[in-house]
Structure 1
Amino acid sequence: MFDLLYKNISRHIQLSDEEFEQFSSLFMLKSFKRKETVLREGDYCLFEGLVLNGCFKVFYLNESGSEQTLYFAVEGWWITDIDSLINNVSSILNIEALENSDVFMISKKDKEMLYNDMPKIEKLFRIMNQQSSVALQRRILSLTGKTADKRYLEFLDKYPGLEQRITQQQVASYLGITHEFLSKIRKKISLGK
């Protein structure tokens, strides 16, 4: 049951069997139905969660009220609003299940306790936060410096197979374009232009 969690953290740190048991015992398995909200704008984020199966979109509503997707979280990805979690401010993000999904969740309180009891865990989350910062920087550079065609190809590379699991509207929201423009891009790429 904890195989994905073990594989996920083992890429960054090594824990003994006893340490992993202590670590994993603080995670709760939560199931979410399709279209169920995990976090709503205005709420406080008090968790981090590892997606075991399913798919989530992490998004906000821009000034015109349109959804802008920051990222999708599929199997092996983490979901949270790091600003709300760390700074104890209300969230500007929404997290919604796009499929029936299962997540291992750890509370902020339990995570802080682990930092004190197991310094390796603080190192784990530091490394994960650094990787998140790199991904965010790359995402910003892509949005501000690349064409929509290139962003679409990056999306396909970053999320293999996801396009078959979500709507074209959701892909367009992630790319920052209209779904009509996405249709033109897809047609152009399929024709090899």
Structure 2
Amino acid sequence: MKIQPLLDYINRYVELTPEEAAIIEEKVIFRKYLKGQFVLQQGDVCKYQSFVISGCTKTYYSDEEGQEHIVLFSVEDWWLSDIGSFMSQSPADFNIQCIEPTELIMFSYEATEYLYEKIPKLERFFRQVLERGLVATQKRLIRNFSLSAKEHYLYFKEQYPEIEQRIPQYLVASYLGITKEFLSKIKAQLLFEE
């Protein structure tokens, strides 16, 4: 069953009955994207919150000069959305683009509200997912203020080794808020220190 990875993930937080799992399966959308395709573009309304079955995406803000500022990578068992846009159904601040061919399970705003009503424990589940995301964002802000670029890179490499192996280095540099040249210098320095 295609939905099983999602059900396994939800069951880590709340226990679903077979009937509840069937209701969820009825309300979700499965979608495949090619490498380079957008799940969401800045300025569009975010219609879905999505669970990654396979693949990798980047969530980023594009400034007036067209410079990408990556805020998040999402891989298997991760969620992606412009949550502000999704909750308010207003224009998105972020782009979400596939770095690899990606398969998603998507919840529309209407389906989410329906599921909250039919399966109240899902509201608790999504609250916990959002809380974890908020905590991770706050901790990233603290790291951005308190760690050197080298320390920030080492943290990223330690926390997300599977992501670093899957994405180009210029994207890692963008996520860290440094140039790809500076990232190359950090990596060369680390090799020299070994």
TM range (shorter): over 0.9
Q: Provide the TM-score with structure 2 as the length reference.
A: 0.96
Tell me whether 1:66 sits opposite 2:75 in the alignment.
no
> In the alignment, what sits opposite 1:164?
165
CA distance in 1, matches of 2:128, 2:84: 17
User: Mapping of 1:145-184 within 5 angstroms?
Assistant: 145-184=146-185
CA distance in 2, matches of 1:20, 1:48: 18
Runs of 4+ in 1 over 6 A off after TM superposition: none
CA distance in 2, matches of 1:157, 1:121: 32
Q: Cα offset for 1:118? A: 1.2
> In the alignment, what sits opposite 1:75?
76
Instruction: Give deviations 1:28-51, integer Å, cap 9, x for gaps.
Output: 110000000110000000101111
What letter is aligned with 1:32? Y
Unpaired runs of at least 5, structure 1: none
CA distance in 1, matches of 2:145, 2:64: 18
CA distance in 2, matches of 1:57, 1:81: 12
| Comparing 97-106 and 21-30, the one that deviates more | 21-30
CA distance in 2, matches of 1:181, 1:112: 45
> In the alignment, what sits opposite 2:10?
9
User: Mapping of 1:36-185 within 5 angstroms?
Assistant: 36-185=37-186
Identity %: 36
What letter is aligned with 1:90? P
What letter is aligned with 1:15? L
> In the alignment, what sits opposite 1:186?
187
Q: Cα offset for 1:168? A: 0.9
Unpaired runs of at least 5, structure 2: none
Q: Provide the TM-score with structure 1 as the length reference.
A: 0.96
CA distance in 1, matches of 2:7, 2:33: 22
Q: Cα offset for 1:183? A: 0.3
SS of residue matched to 2:193:
coil
In structure 2, relative to structure 1, the CA distance for the partners of 1:63 and 1:154 (3 Å cut) is farther
Aligned pairs, number = 193
CA distance in 2, matches of 1:56, 1:160: 16
What letter is aligned with 1:50? F
CA distance in 1, matches of 2:32, 2:73: 17
Instruction: Give deviations 1:2-54, integer Å, cap 9, x for gaps.
Output: 22101211111111111111112211110000000110000000101111111
CA distance in 2, matches of 1:188, 1:7: 41
CA distance in 2, matches of 1:168, 1:23: 38
CA distance in 2, matches of 1:106, 1:124: 14
CA distance in 2, matches of 1:139, 1:63: 24
